[in-house]
Amino acid sequence: MTFQRTQVGDWIMQDRDLACPPGIDDRGEIGKSESADRIGQQDAGSMDAAQGLPEGAERFIDNPDAFWCYNEETKELIIGGKGPMDDFLYPRARPWPFDDMEKVTIESGVTSIGNNAFYDFFYLRSITIPPSVTSIGNRALCYCRSLQSVTIPSSVTSIGDSIFYGCNSLRQINVDEGNAAYVSANGCLYTKGLETLICVPEGYEEKAFDIIDGVISIGDSAFSGCESIQSITIPSSVTSIEDYAFSGCKSLQSITIPSSVKFIGYNAFSKCTSLQSVTILSGVERLGGETFARCTSLQSITIPSSVTAIRAGAFSGCTSLQSITIPSSVTSIGEGAFSGCTSLQSVTIPSSVRMIHMGAFSECTSLQSVALSPSVEYIGFAAFSECTSLQSITIPSSVTSIDDYAFSECTSLKSVALPPVFTYLGEGIFYGCESLEVVYGTTKLRKIIEQDVGHSVSFQPLP
């Protein structure tokens, strides 16, 4: 049996690289869409100044009262007319076949910037947003890597997800003082009352960042990609840390999460590759999936007793993690929770845990000791597969179900103690355990186990 894996943690999903922002799967190339082709096929004579359009301008499909035109000499894209821009499901759906724009000018009368409108305008250095614009769509300025500053006018009341994601030269986000929905503080974007920190520019150059006291939520991707920040202070006013909040903060070395925080979102600290120390004070109730995934410098962490579940991939790929304390409040260890923690040497499963899910400790190649409490009932698919340093395991009588390949490829495993009765015993549980010599348990399992390991095994009564 060969497991098809491409990297640690993929028992649950493929690696979600930072080059792909939340909400979009395919950057692709910026080119003409079917809609653009239809525009290009219209009679050029109907697109002239006689109908109120500049020379060479083309109307949008969904709102023909708005238009666009491009000056190849100045490399300026102009959006004009009245009403909203079209939304674009993905970058290739946009009508303009150019990718070298350096300037975008949106004229007064346009009321929105569409989803993915200027996604991946690599050379874009400036954008003018008029006070007629009320909304900026999802990923509108995503990956504008040359953009250094942007000013949001007083009219904007809605800003979509990940609009500045990948803008790694962006240092300043300004908001007009008259804006009723948003405010800028120290070049960062907040909601008007400072309740939510929306975005810290990826080009933020200071080494330390103190979140303003009074902030309640650290928003989706708020610090994502801020590679210069080494330390962040979270005030006790914060109650939630949303998805991807600190993902890719490659210089962040330590973080203390105050007891006021109840929720830490999906991938909140993933790929913080310099993060060595995490202090989570009691109060946190939920760790989202892949919370600390691929924090390759993280050596130890204590999970507070307020946490009831360790979710999928929470610490997957933490290759320096040597120890983990799982509190007695935890009842479930999720899929791939510690997969690929190649420095983890021992783990104790507390009596509160009932279920160890698929691939929870797979590829923990230094794991030598596993203490399963007599409360565990289910061991999932490949839960401990490829734990190549594990030499013995005692499965308590509380376990009624062991799924397929649970201990497969544990090549140093020499002895196993098994309870006499199972509700379900999967296939290949000990497949590839070439060193297995002794099984403590019923001989009824002889045929199954010897078929897995490929040689005869000594069976002895349970001690």
Give the residue among 411, 452, 458, 456 at the shortest CA–CA distance from 435: 411
- On average, the pLDDT of the chain sits at 89
The whole-number pLDDT of residue 45 equals 37
Q: Where are the domains of the chain?
A: 21-170, 177-296, 308-463
Mean pLDDT of 206-226: 96
Q: Is the pLDDT of residue 346 over 90?
A: yes
CATH code of the region 177-296 = 3.80.10.10
Mean pLDDT of 268-288: 93
At the topology level, CATH places domain 308-463 in 3.80.10
Mean pLDDT of 399-421: 95
Give the residue among 380, 329, 366, 367 at the shortest CA–CA distance from 351: 329
How far is Cα 176 from Cα 340, in angstroms, rounded to an integer?
47
Question: 103-106 and 126-128: which strand pairing?
Answer: parallel
Long-range contacts of 212-218 (CB under 8 A, 24+ apart): 212/185, 213/237, 215/190, 216/240, 217/241, 217/242, 218/242, 218/245, 218/246
User: In the structure, what pLDDT confidence band is assigned to residue 25 with cuts at 50, 70 and 90?
Assistant: very low
The whole-number pLDDT of residue 55 equals 85
Instruction: Tell me if domain 177-296 and domain 308-463 are identical in fold.
Output: yes
The whole-number pLDDT of residue 300 equals 83
Architecture of domain 21-170: Alpha-Beta Horseshoe (3.80)
User: In the structure, what pLDDT confidence band is assigned to residue 13 with cuts at 50, 70 and 90?
Assistant: very low
Q: Is the pLDDT of residue 404 over 70?
A: yes
* Integer-rounded Cα radius of gyration of the chain: 28
